[in-house]
Structure 1
Amino acid sequence: MSERQATNERNPIPPSDNRLLSLSDLRSLQELIHEKALLQPDKPVLRFRDHVITYHKLNNSANQFARLLADYGIRKGAIVGLAVDRSPEMVYCLLAIVKAGATYLPLDPEYPKARIEFMLKDAGAGYLITSEKYSGQFTTDARVILMEDILRQAPQYAVTPPDVPISMDDVVYVLYTSGSTGQPKGVQITQLGLVNFLIGMLKAPGLDENDRVLALTTISFDISGLELYLPLLAGAEIILTDVQTSRDTRQLMEIVRQRGVTVMQATPATWRMMLESAWEGKLPLKALIGGEALSKKLAERLLEKCDSLWNMYGPTETTVWATLKQIHLDDEVITVGRPIENMVAYILDSQLKPLPDGTVGEIFIGGAGVGPGYLNRPELNAERFMDDPFSTVPGARMYKTGDLGRIVNGDEIQCLGRMDHQVKIRGYRIELGEVEHALGKQPGIKDVVVLPKDERLVAYVVMEGNDPVNFADWQHALRDYLPEYMVPSNFVLLPRFPLSPNGKVDRNALEAMGIELEKANRVYVAPRTEQEKLVAGIWEECLQVKKIGIKDDFFELGGTSIVAMQIMARIERETGKRLPLASLFTENTIEKLSREMLLDDQAISWDLLVPVKPTGNKPPIFIVNGLDMNVLLFNNIARNMDADQPIYGFQPRGLNGVDKPFETLEDMAAEYIAALLEKGFTDGYALAGYSYGGVVAFEMARQLQAMGKTVKLLAMFDTYAYNKGHFETGVPKYVSKVKRQFPKFLFITGSLFRHPKETISYQQAYFVRKYNELAVYVGLQQTPESDRAEDRINEKYEAAYRKYYMQPSDACIIDLFRVGTRLYYLDDPIYLGWKPYAKAGIHVHDVNGDHKTFLMPPNDKDFAILLQQLADERMKS
C-alpha cells in the first residue's frame, strides 16, 4: 500500500506549490493594481485596435470613474450591471465598480433580452451601466447610467483612488451560470478568492512584465478574469479584442503574430479552430486551456506549435481555475494536475469519504477560492457548498462539483466527465434541464430530452398530437430566453421515449435512436463536381456527419458559428479563397457555396442586393435598411412570413473598405435599382424601407416610375419624411425652431408619465449628443474620429440625406407602419411627415413597440403577419 493510500482519509490533494502565501498577507485587487500603476506609469497596459492605454491612464480613469459612480449613489454592497461593448471603457468600468466597493454583474449585450432582464432582477441590481446603443433595450428597475455620460463627466473628478474601506470578504462580482431548475443562478466571488487565484496564477503558469496576454473572452465567462486582471498585477500588457475579432480565429491568429502575444487562454474548441486557421510554424506562446476535457491528440498538436501548454480546471463557484498542470509530450495520461495556491481538492464517495488512488469518485474543491455561494439560493447552497470536514481552518468550506475524477500519478487529478446532466459545449457550462425547461414551454410539446452531440445540442421531442411543427419557430422562440450556445441545433420527433428497466428515460438508447432518425430524414444527393466534393469533405469533417449531400442545409445539420469558422478556415487553406463568414448564412448548402466560390471576392462579399430569404413563388419584397446597415435584422421578418415569400435586402456600398460610399441619396437609389434590374426581377415591385431606408425606397419608387416601371407596394417602416428644415436658412429656420418648443415640451411631459424610464434615458442621450455637437461647433473639442467603417459611412449617408430635396410623388400609395411607443417628438405624429409627398395616398398601420423594437421579438411576428397580408393585397392589384 502506498503512503498516499495509507493516509488518504485525512490528507487532501496538495497544492502545486507548497510555498503558500499566507491569506492574511493578501491585499485587495484595487490596491495591487494601483501599486503596479505607480511603479510603471508610462508602460502600455492595454491595446484595443489602434488605441494604446498606459498604466497611468488606466488607473487614473478607473479612479475618476469610481468617484463619479459614488456620486451616482453606488456604494459598498451595491450590485451594478454592466452591459457594454468590448472597449477600454469596459475595463475602466469593471475596475471603477470594484474601486467604489461595489459588486459588478457582467452582462454580455448579445445575450437574449429576457435573460439579461432576469439576471438584473434576480441579482437585485440597483444600477445598470450601458451605452446609448442599448439604451431602453432592457426593462429593469435598476437606475440606468449611460457610458457616454460617464465619459463626459469623469474628467471633472480627481485621479486619486477613492477612500473606500475594503474587506477581503467583499463580493467582487456575481456571475450567472446555467441552472438545472430552468433559471440561471448567480455565483458570488470575493476579493479573497479572486486575489488568491491571481497570485496563484502569477506563480504558475507564471506571468511577468514582458508578457502580452490576448483578452478574447466575454466578461460573462469567468475565465475573462484571468485575461483582464492577471496582466495588471504582473505589469504585463493586455491585447483586447472586439466581439467580431474574438469569433474569427483567422483574425485572432493575425493579432497573435502582429502584436507579439505571449499568453493566450481558450477552450479546446477555440484552440482547435486556431489550429485550422493557417497556423504555420511554432510561436513563442504559452497556451492555457480549460473549460472542457483536453484530448491527447489536441495536446500533441498544440505542443508542436507553442512553447508550453497548461491544462486548467475549476468551476465558476471556486473562482475560475482551481487546479493546473503543465502538459508535456511524454505524458501518458492527460490530467488537470494539482490545486493552485491555498486551494485543496478531494476525491470522495457518496458518503463524503476519501477514496484511494485510482478509484473514481466525485471531485470536491476547498480553500480560499470557494465563494460565498449562489445569490438568493439557500437550498442550493446547502446542497453544493458544505463544511470542509478535512480542514483545520475554522469555517472552511468545500464545493461539490458534480464532476467525476480519480487520483493518478501520485497526486494529480484526472477528470472523467459529469455525474449529472450538466455538460460543456465549447467551454460553456450548460444545465440540460434549463434547455429542456425552456423548450418544454412551447405549445404542443408533451415531453423533451436534450443531449449533447459533437459540440452541439440535440432535442428529442414527444408531441401532444400530430400537428405539423416548424423547428425554426422553436429555435426562434428559445433565442428570446437562452444564449445562442444553449439553443439546440437539431430536433428529433419521437412517438415515445425508450425507458430503462427502472422506468427512467434510457438516454443511451435515445441517442442511438436519434442518430438513425436523423440519417433517415435526410435525402442524400451526392456531390458532382470537384469543388462540391472538396466542400462536402470539409463539411463532413467539421460537422462530424457522414455523407452530406449538396442539398443539405448547413444549419439543419447542426452548423454553428464556430463550425462555420472551421469550415471557412479549411476552405481558405485548401483553395486560397477567403470567404466571409456571412456566406454560410446565405449560401447554406454545398451546392450554393460551391457555386459562389467560383465568383470573385467582391461579388461574394459585398453584393448590394442580399438574399435574406430568396426562395418562394410570391413576388419578392425588397427592403432598404436604415443607418445601422444590418441586413440580418430582416431575418426576423422573413422567418415569420409565408414560406413562399421571398425577401431581399439592400446593403450600402463601402462596407468592404474598398468601394467609396454613395455621395448622394439619388445615387444610392439608382445603384440599388441597377442591382435589382441586373437580377432580372419582373415589373411590379414591392419596396420597403426601415427608418432612413424608407426615404431611399421612396426615391427608388420615384426613379422606377420615371423609367416606366410599376411599384405596387411602398412600405415605410417608421420612417419620418419631413426634411425641408435642412434647406431653411436665416430667420425662417429660427422661427420654425421656436414654434416647435412648446408642443415639444408638452410631448416630453406626457411621455414622462407614459414611459418614464425610457423617456429619461432617451432625453439624456439626446442632450449628450447635442452638447457634443455644440462643443465641436464652438471649438471646445474636436470631432471624434471612429475607426469603424460603419461610422464613417454613416457620416457620408447622413450628409447625403441633408442634401436630398424630397419631391412629391404619385408612384405608389404609401403604407406607413407607425410604432405605438414614441420616445421623441415629431411635428407630425400622425403621418410622420409623408402626407405632402404621398400624392397617390397614404395608409397608416399601427404596430407594437418603439423605433428600435418593433422588428424584434416579440413584436416581429405580428409585424410580419401584417406585412404579409398587405403585400398579398397590394401585389394582386
Structure 2
Amino acid sequence: MSPALPVTLNDVLSQVVERYPSHELSFITSSTHNSSIKVKTFSSFNQYVRNLARAMLEWQKPAGSVIVIYLIEHEDNMAAIWACLIAGYVPCLQPALSAQQAHKDGHVAHIKNLFSSANWLTTEAGAEQLNSIDGLGVHLLSDLKTSSSNYNVPADWVARNVQLDDDAIVFLTSGSTGFSKAVVHTHRVGLDHVAGSLEMHMAPLLFGTSQIHVHASAILSDPLRYLRLIDEKCINITFSPGFFIAKLTRDLEKRSDLIGTFDLSSLKCICTGGEAVLSTTAQSFVAVLKNLARDPSKVSFIISSGFGMTETCAGCIYEPIDLATTELKHEFLDLGRPIRGCEMRIVSPEDSKTVRADGESGELQVRGPMLFVRYYNNTEATSSSFVEGGWYRTGDVGIIENGVMRLSGRIKDTIIVHGVSYGIPELEFHLQTVEGVTHSFLAAAPYRADGQETEGFIIFYSPTFDLNGEHASTNLFATHCAIRDISVKMITLSPQFIIPIPINQMEKSTLGKLSRARLVSLFKQSELAKHIARAEELLSEARGASFVNPSTETEKALAKIYAMIFNLEEHDVSASDNFFDMGSTSIDVIRLKREGEAHFGLPEISVIQILKHPVLSSLANYVNSLLSKGIQAEEYDPIVPLQLTGNKTPLFFVHPGGGDVLIYINLAKYFQNERPFYALRSRGFEPGHSVFTSVDEMATCYAAAVKRTQPTGPYALAGYSFGGVVAFEIAKRFEAMGDEVRFIGVVDTGPHLVDHTFKVDWTYCVLTLCLFLDIVTKDVADDLAPSLRPLSRKEQIEVIWKRSPPGRLLELQLTSDKLDHWVDIAYSILGCAKDYDPSGSAAALDIFVSFERKDDWPTNGLKPWDAFSREQATYTVVPGLHHNILDFDHIPQFQKVFRTRFEARGL
C-alpha cells in the first residue's frame, strides 16, 4: 500500500522529513563576497523552522494572525513561511517596497488596514524602511533567531492542528490597478502547480527532491553561473523567466571560447514564465546550449512554458515542448493544456460568458481547485472576479486551438517589461500632468510588436493645442519629449508610439472612460494612420527648424557614421545633432570612436574628446584639428558633459576607482530635459598628463573645475565607490567658501577607503579594473589572483587577455598596452585612497547601499558616515552588487531610487 498523501501544508514537511531526512536544501545568497553554497538537510531545516515557530509564540498573537514577511534571501523567506504555518499563523510575503516615500507609506498603511493588524517580520534594514508608519508590530528576524536558540522542540511539534479549509498563506497581487489585493489560499492548495514558494519548493519536497535556491542577482551578475550549477550539481529541472532566457542567449551566443565547456546531460526540463517567450528566442537558446554542451546528444531541450497568476496559485496551464524536434508554428511558445482538475475556456469579452469557437480570440477564464478562495477583507473584488459556474476571469486575452492555449493580449492594467509589472494607472496619472495633454484624455496600452522580446506600450492622447495651429510643431515636439521623459523615469522604457488624436475624435464610453482595447484595435487596423502621419509631419517640421545640413566633408562623413549607429537615413542627421541626445550608450561611443578612426585614418580619437564634443559639428572641428596637427596633448579638464539639457540644478558625478566616466553615460540619459549631468574624470589618461598623488590634490582640482562650470550654488555632488569620498571632499571645500551644497550622494562606499596596513597591489588593481569593465567575472578574478601575483606585469596582462571575451575587448577598443596604462591610473588612485584619512563634516549625506550589503551595512564600513554628516545621514538600498550597480540591468531602478533622495533634498 502506498503511503497516504499529505492533507495540509504542515503534513508536507512532516512527511518529507520522515522519509528523506538527509536530503538537502541549498541556498546561494545575493552577496558575491561569499560564493559558497549554504546547505541544510531536510532534518536540520525542519528543526530550525520548528524552533523559530515556537519562538514566534512569544509574540502572543492570536491563531490565524497574518504575519507580513519582508525578507530578501530565499532561505529566510522559506524558513519564515514554514515557521508561520507551524505556529498557526498565516504568512504573507511582501516584495521589495517602493523607493517612493509616499507610495511606500501608502502601501504599508493599506496592508495595516487590510489585515486589521500590523505584524511584520523583517531585517534591521527593512525595519528602517517601515519606521515612518506608526502602530506597526515590527519583529526582527535576528531577534527571532536568538530567541529560537532557547528551544529544541520535537521534530513533529506544531502549535495547533490545522484544518483543510483553514487559511494557509496569503499572496499580494502586483497592485498594478491600485493598492495590492491579498489572495487567500487554504490548506487545500494543490502542490503541483504553485510557483516560487510552492511550485519550486513544496511540490519538489513531496518527492524528496534536493533543491538549490539561487538569488536572482547572483545569476544576473554572472549568467555563466547558471550553466556551471547545472553542470556541477547535476540539476534536473530549473526555472528561468523569459527575460533571462533572452539575456542568456544574447550574452552567450558569441562565446566561441566556451564551446563544449559544460556537462548539461542531467538537465531534463527548463520551466519558464513571467512573460511570453518568443519562439525565435527559444530556438536561439537551444542553439546556444548545443554549442556550450560537452555532449549535445545527451541534453534534453525541453522547455515548459506556462500560464498562471497569484489567484490561480501561479502555474495551472503548461506545455512541455521539445525544441530539438518540434516545429514552432506561432510567434510565442504555446502555454499549453490545463493541469488535472483545472478547466479553461475562451469567452466573449463583451458578456464574459459566451464561449468562443476553437481558434477564436477572447477572454481567458479558468476554474478548478487551484483557485484562491477569496481576496482578504474584500468581498466586492472577490465576487466581481468570478462569473456563473465558478469561472475566474483572468483578465487576459487568449486563444485555445486543439486544446492548447496561447495568449494574444492583455486586458489587465499592467505593462510587463523584462518580467516586471508596471501599473498603467500610475503612469497615466503622471502623464496627465504634461503640458500639452488634455486631462483625462490620455491612455497607455500594452503593445508587443512582431518579433519583440518584451512588452512595450503606446500612448494615445488628445493635445490641448490645435494640430493645425501656428505653433503646432514646437508644441508637439515639447509634449512628446515630456511624455518620453516621464515614461523612461517611471517604467524604464520609452513608448513605441505616441499618437495625438484630436479631442473630438477621442471616443469615451458611457462611463466616461477611454477604451485601451479599442484604441489598440484601431491602431492595428491602421485607423489611426492619419494621426500618426500628421504627428510625424509636425515633428519633422520641428526638427527641421533647427536642422543644419552637414556641409564639410568631415561633417558629412560623421553624419554617415551617426546614421549607421542609430539606424537613420543619412539625410536625417543634422550638424547640430548631439550624440547623447540621440540615445547613445557607452558602447555606441566606442563604435563612433572605432568607425571614425577607420574612416579618417587616425591612430586615435580619444573617447574623452568624443564625450566633450558630442555635437556633430563640434566633433568635426576636433577631427579636423587632428588631421591637420596630429594628436597633441591638450590642457587637462576633468569636466565631461554627458547631458546638457534642462534648467534644474546640475549634477556632478565623480569617477570611481578606475578613473573613467563611461559608466555614467546610461545614468545621464535619465536626466535629459531636466538638468545638466557632468562627470569628473581622473587625470592621467591623455598623453603628457600626470596622475594625481592625493585625494586632497584631486578634490581641489575638481572643486575648481565645478566652480568654472557652475559659479554659484546650490550644488549637487555625487560619486560611485571611490568617487563618493571625493564628492564629500569637494562639498567640504564649497561649504568652507560659504556655498550651499544641497545634495551629496555617496554610492556604496565608506569614509575609510582602504586600511592603512593594506599593501598596494598591482594584481589587485588589474583584476578589480577588469571586473568593473566586465572582462572577467567575480569568480574568475578570485580564482586568478593567487596565480597572477608571482608573475610580471606583462605576464599578468597576457593571462587576463587570453581569458577575456574578444567581443568585449573589441567593444571597449582595448589593447593590452591601453589596459596596462589604465591599471597604472587605477593603481595611483588606490595609492591616494590608502593615504586618505576622512575629517570634518558636510551638511547632509545620502548613502546608497548595494543590495549585497543590505543586511550588514551598519557594520561593514558604511555606517561611520554618520560621524561626517551634520544632519542624520540617510541609507538607501539600491539593486545590484557593488561592481554592477550601474550596469544595464540595474540602472533603471537605481535612477528611480537615486532620484527619490535627490528630490527629497529639494532639487
Please give the TM-score of this superposition, normalised by the length of structure 2. Answer: 0.57
- Can you list the C-alpha shifts for 1:581-604, whole angstroms capped at 9, x where unaligned? xx9xx9999999x99xxxxxxxxx
- Can you list the C-alpha shifts for 1:203-227, whole angstroms capped at 9, x where unaligned? xxxxxxxxxxxxxxxxxxx656434
Of residues 443, 448, 451, the one that matches 2:442 is 448
Q: Distance in 2 between matches of 1:302 and 1:554?
A: 33
SS in 2 for 1:137: helix
* Correspondence for 1:366: 367
- Can you list the C-alpha shifts for 1:730-754, whole angstroms capped at 9, x where unaligned? xxxxxxxxxxxxxxxxxxxxxxxxx
Letter in 1 for 2:41: Y
Question: Is 1:193–2:175 an aligned residue pair?
Answer: no
The Cα of 1:321 is off from its aligned counterpart by 0.8
Letter in 1 for 2:52: F
Contact 2:81/2:91 (CA < 8 Å) preserved in 1? no
Question: Is 1:104–2:92 an aligned residue pair?
Answer: yes
Contact 1:27/1:168 (CA < 8 Å) preserved in 2? yes
Contact 2:364/2:396 (CA < 8 Å) preserved in 1? yes
Matching of residues 650-661 of structure 1 within 5 Å: none
* Correspondence for 1:173: 170
Question: Is 1:507–2:519 an aligned residue pair?
Answer: yes
Question: Is 1:418–2:410 an aligned residue pair?
Answer: yes
* Correspondence for 1:760: none
SS in 2 for 1:163: coil
Question: Is 1:241–2:248 an aligned residue pair?
Answer: no
Letter in 2 for 1:155: S
Matching of residues 569-584 of structure 1 within 5 Å: none
* Correspondence for 1:326: 320
Contact 2:164/2:187 (CA < 8 Å) preserved in 1? yes
Contact 1:187/1:317 (CA < 8 Å) preserved in 2? yes
SS in 1 for 2:334: coil
* Correspondence for 2:129: 137
Of residues 29, 32, 36, the one that matches 1:50 is 36
SS in 2 for 1:157: coil
Of residues 180, 199, 208, the one that matches 1:226 is 199
1:99 to 1:474, Cα distance in 2 relative to 1, 3 A: farther
1:158 to 1:569, Cα distance in 2 relative to 1, 3 A: farther
Q: Distance in 2 between matches of 1:566 and 1:626?
A: 19
Q: Distance in 2 between matches of 1:321 and 1:588?
A: 53
1:644 to 1:174, Cα distance in 2 relative to 1, 3 A: closer
Letter in 2 for 1:163: A
- Can you list the C-alpha shifts for 1:824-868, whole angstroms capped at 9, x where unaligned? 9xxxxxxx9999xxxxxxxx9x9xx97458997767447344xxx
SS in 1 for 2:252: coil
Q: Distance in 1 between matches of 2:55 and 2:481?
A: 46
Contact 2:305/2:320 (CA < 8 Å) preserved in 1? yes
1:109 to 1:227, Cα distance in 2 relative to 1, 3 A: farther
Q: Distance in 1 between matches of 2:184 and 2:587?
A: 35
Moved more, 523-532 or 363-372: 523-532
* Correspondence for 2:863: none
1:346 to 1:492, Cα distance in 2 relative to 1, 3 A: closer
Letter in 2 for 1:47: I
Q: Distance in 1 between matches of 2:401 and 2:21?
A: 44
* Correspondence for 1:791: none
Contact 2:695/2:836 (CA < 8 Å) preserved in 1? no
Moved more, 68-77 or 510-519: 510-519
The Cα of 1:79 is off from its aligned counterpart by 2.5
SS in 2 for 1:507: helix
The Cα of 1:384 is off from its aligned counterpart by 1.6
Q: Distance in 1 between matches of 2:182 and 2:433?
A: 23
Q: Distance in 2 between matches of 1:110 and 1:302?
A: 33
Contact 2:242/2:272 (CA < 8 Å) preserved in 1? yes
Contact 1:131/1:147 (CA < 8 Å) preserved in 2? yes
* Correspondence for 1:59: 46
Matching of residues 362-761 of structure 1 within 5 Å: 362-386=363-387, 388=389, 397-409=390-402, 411-418=403-410, 424-428=416-420, 432-433=424-425, 435-437=427-429, 439-440=431-432, 445-446=438-439, 447-454=441-448, 455-464=455-464, 484=491, 495-496=502-503, 498-499=505-506, 507-508=519-520, 509=522, 512=529, 516=533, 521=539, 622=652, 645-648=676-679, 667-673=694-700, 713=739, 715=741
Q: Distance in 2 between matches of 1:441 and 1:617?
A: 19
Matching of residues 841-852 of structure 1 within 5 Å: 851-852=874-875
SS in 1 for 2:188: helix
Please give the TM-score of this superposition, normalised by the length of structure 1. Answer: 0.59
Q: Distance in 2 between matches of 1:672 and 1:449?
A: 48
The Cα of 1:700 is off from its aligned counterpart by 5.4
The Cα of 1:326 is off from its aligned counterpart by 1.7
SS in 2 for 1:108: coil
The Cα of 1:322 is off from its aligned counterpart by 0.9
1:858 to 1:643, Cα distance in 2 relative to 1, 3 A: closer
Contact 1:684/1:711 (CA < 8 Å) preserved in 2? no
1:536 to 1:35, Cα distance in 2 relative to 1, 3 A: farther
**Corresponding residue pairs, total:** 658
1:698 to 1:529, Cα distance in 2 relative to 1, 3 A: same
Q: Distance in 2 between matches of 1:850 and 1:384?
A: 46
Q: Distance in 2 between matches of 1:423 and 1:436?
A: 12
Question: Is 1:297–2:270 an aligned residue pair?
Answer: no
Q: Distance in 2 between matches of 1:702 and 1:431?
A: 42
The Cα of 1:359 is off from its aligned counterpart by 4.8
- Can you list the C-alpha shifts for 1:484-512, whole angstroms capped at 9, x where unaligned? 46996875655537446999666144565
Moved more, 696-705 or 39-48: 696-705
Letter in 2 for 1:461: Y
1:642 to 1:347, Cα distance in 2 relative to 1, 3 A: closer
Letter in 2 for 1:287: I
The Cα of 1:136 is off from its aligned counterpart by 3.0
1:59 to 1:620, Cα distance in 2 relative to 1, 3 A: same
The Cα of 1:450 is off from its aligned counterpart by 0.5
Contact 1:82/1:130 (CA < 8 Å) preserved in 2? yes
Of residues 245, 255, 273, the one that matches 2:247 is 273
* Correspondence for 1:870: none
Contact 1:193/1:369 (CA < 8 Å) preserved in 2? yes
The Cα of 1:366 is off from its aligned counterpart by 1.2
Percent of counterpart pairs with the same letter? 16
Letter in 1 for 2:251: S
Of residues 78, 88, 96, the one that matches 2:75 is 88
Unaligned segments of structure 2, at least 5 residues: 30-34, 290-299, 449-454, 466-470, 596-607, 621-636, 683-691, 747-751, 753-829, 847-857, 859-865, 877-895
The Cα of 1:287 is off from its aligned counterpart by 1.8
1:325 to 1:400, Cα distance in 2 relative to 1, 3 A: same
The Cα of 1:32 is off from its aligned counterpart by 1.8
Contact 1:685/1:712 (CA < 8 Å) preserved in 2? no
Letter in 2 for 1:53: V
- Can you list the C-alpha shifts for 1:754-786, whole angstroms capped at 9, x where unaligned? xxxxxxxxxxxxxxxxxxxxxxxxxxxxxxxxx
The Cα of 1:97 is off from its aligned counterpart by 3.1
1:424 to 1:223, Cα distance in 2 relative to 1, 3 A: farther
Moved more, 81-90 or 465-474: 465-474
Q: Distance in 2 between matches of 1:171 and 1:352?
A: 31
